[in-house]
A and B are shown apart, each in its own frame.
Chain A
Amino acid sequence: MKEEIANRLQQISEQNLIDIEQAKEQGRSVIGFYCLYSPTEMAVAVNAIPVPLCGTRNDPIPAAEETLPRNLCPLIKSSYGYGVSDTCPYFRASDIIIGDTTCDGKKKMFELMARFKPTHVIELPQSQNNPMAMEFWRAEIEHFKTVIEETSGQQIDKAKLGAAIKLMNRERHVRKALMDVNKAKPAPLRGAELIEILFRVGFLADKEYGISLMEELTAAAREGAFRQGDPPKNRARRILLTGVPVGLGSDKIVNIVEQLGSDIVAFENCSGYKQAFTVDEGKDPIDALAEQYLATPCSVMSPNEGRFNLLREMVEEFSIDGVIDLTWQGCHTYNVEAYLVDKMLQETFGITSLHLETDYSESDTEQLKVRIEAYLEML
């Protein structure tokens, strides 16, 4: 990333922590989120600050392993570790933690987390096209609303929720526009840069500021500001990363691909394009939220048709040469689904995917490198 932009993002992050402290003093609540299934609109509707707490760094994992089994997904261990070792300022600032019963490891982890932090866990159905599941899910969203009302001491009415949906739609829209910059060839943004921007913006207390920042960076990227002075590459392949979420600290795959001279141009995961949806502004807000959020195409759903549609769309629109499908060790749902992803890609596009299973540590860098290098060679 160009140094001045990187420095600025760093400064913005530091300033944001101060802003959050101040906002709290002025009575605004901070709500900690872990998963894409929980509607952040609910927090925005009471002028609370939603923060994405998913653990993406290796550092707190040893602390988590004092309690949690070692062979658990690193994302769960990292998330728990930050909380239990009190090393994440956003976790500390959160008045309540919102979890979802997504995968087994996560839902059981929240039971332990609830022992030292107020935690509310939303019960998530496992299927998206069962009317009974939808009815149940809608009730869960209603209940979630009352939890946020109690935490913040404010009522949520239709107008407030409608306005929150509008604001979040705008945010998702500019996020998508930023990611879509990379449809251009060559991609104006490196994968690592994109991840960093999306990651940092996610924490901003002031949504409007985040939106205008992303708009500004999108325009700069389009004009080539991020690639100024880069030597042209001749054998750069356009790679799509799918599978588990990645963030700062858990982006080693992105870095290896880029060291090897290719580009991760798009992310079909929670950190990326899975967030590029729009909530229907014409419907009853609770209905609209329930419908759209349940439709999140994550492997915890069975079946998970949405992910395949999204992948097909992205492979075409981003002119993808190859797909890397990432699974964190211990994540059964993404691990199993990898077979279907590969099969779909072979059948639809005649390309095979590279399925990688790893964790947050650096111990297997060489092994990953051989696989990635061999994959890039064969494309």
Chain B
Amino acid sequence: MKKFAGIDIGSRTIELVVIDEAGQIVNSLQTDTGFDPMSEAKRMTGEVEYTTIMATGYGRNLFEIAFDSPTVTEIKAHATGARFYFPEATVVLDIGGQDSKVISMFPSGKVKKFEMNDRCAAGTGKFMEIMAKSLGFDIEQFGEKAMKYKHRLQISAMCTVFAESEVTSLIAKGHSPADIAMGLHQSITNRVAGMIKRVSAGEDLVFTGGVAYNPCMHDQLEKQLGVRVLTPDNPQHVGALGAALLARAEA
């Protein structure tokens, strides 16, 4: 039986997904990108069996050269992966470690428009990590803690450096970490909502990437946008899964 692999080489993590001819997921691996992504990729691909492979993510061109494999952009990969879980979906929001993107599709699944932020940390996983840390929270609980807020707070700075000093001064003024955390979630949501509105018109949204695990983001997005936010089982491997599906389609 043939098997198809997809590898998503991002700036912070690498995901590898293998599917069979029926589209069932056979393997799903993840690791930190580290300093030498190609040897990580080599190690991972050595651990699984596959007939053909397709690469996506920022490292896709390096992989293409080293492994002589076809590539696809993360835009198409995410769109394809998201449709696997939600066949009707037409909008995807992906917030990864260092970038965020919104993709809208035609009902057929073909990409219609997209928008990316990969120039600054604002509104990405990295930003949330730094903020959680400065408030003394684990990133895994950041969202839950924020949902215990009591008072609404407005946080205006979105640049990581400025937001950090704004947070420090809010702590000094005696605001509770939960309130500040909520304020941060809201300002990230505002920013992301702007991107979503530029490319879509109020359709339900598939939320992927590491930040999709955060329940507060999920909640805030639904409230602000008035749409359903759908999260796949494993939001971080959607890009790799999409690449695997495209490898199967090309075979």
Contact = CB atoms under 8 A, between A and B. Distances in A.
Contacts of A373: 73
Contact of B116 (A352, A370, A377, A378): A370
5 contacts: A367-B116, A367-B119, A373-B73, A378-B111, A378-B114
A370 B119 contact: no
Nearest to A364: B119
Sorting the interface of chain A by its residue count into under 10, 10 to 19, 20 to 34 or 35 or more gives 10 to 19
A366 interface: yes
B125 to A, nearest CB: 17
Contacts of B74: 370, 374
A285 to B, nearest CB: 47
Given A364-B119, A366-B58, A367-B119, A377 B113 contact: no
A308 B58 CA distance: 35
Contacts of A366: 58
Interface residues of B, number: 14
Contacts of B73: 370, 373-374, 377
Contacts of A108: none
B113 A374 contact: no
Nearest to B199: A352
Contact of B76 (A364, A367, A378): A378
Contacts of B111: 374, 377-378
A371 interface: yes
A364 B74 CA distance: 17
| A-B pairs with lowest CB-CB distance, top 10 | A374-B75, A378-B111, A374-B73, A373-B73, A352-B113, A377-B76, A367-B118, A370-B73, A377-B73, A374-B114
Given A374-B74, A377-B73, 15 more contacts: A352-B112, A352-B113, A367-B116, A370-B73, A370-B118, A371-B116, A373-B73, A374-B111, A374-B114, A377-B72, A377-B76, A378-B75, A378-B110, A378-B111, A378-B112
A101 B14 CA distance: 51
Nearest to A367: B118
Contacts of A364: 119
B72, B110, B111 — most chain A CB neighbours (10 Å): B111
Contacts of B114: 371, 374, 378
Nearest to B111: A378
Contacts of B116: 367, 370-371
A172 B97 CA distance: 51
A370 B74 CA distance: 8
Contacts of A370: 58, 73-75, 116, 118
A378 B112 CA distance: 7
A374 B76 contact: yes
Interface string B99-117: 0000000000011111010
A335 to B, nearest CB: 13
Contacts of B72: 377
Contact of B75 (A352, A367, A377): A377
Contacts of B113: 352
Interface in B65-108: 72-76
Nearest to A370: B73
B148 to A, nearest CB: 37
Interface in B37-80: 58, 72-76
Contacts of A352: 112-113
Contacts of B118: 367, 370
Interface string A57-91: 00000000000000000000000000000000000
Contacts of B119: 364, 367
Interface string A111-123: 0000000000000
A368 to B, nearest CB: 10
Contacts of A367: 116, 118-119
Nearest to B106: A378
A142 B116 CA distance: 48
Nearest to B113: A352
Contacts of B76: 374, 377-378
B251 to A, nearest CB: 18
A367 B72 CA distance: 14
B63 to A, nearest CB: 14
B185 to A, nearest CB: 26
A352 B119 CA distance: 23
A352 B75 CA distance: 15
B219 to A, nearest CB: 30
Interface in B105-153: 110-114, 116, 118-119
Nearest to A358: B119
Interface string A232-260: 00000000000000000000000000000
A352 B118 CA distance: 21
Interface string A341-379: 000000000001000000000001011001101100110
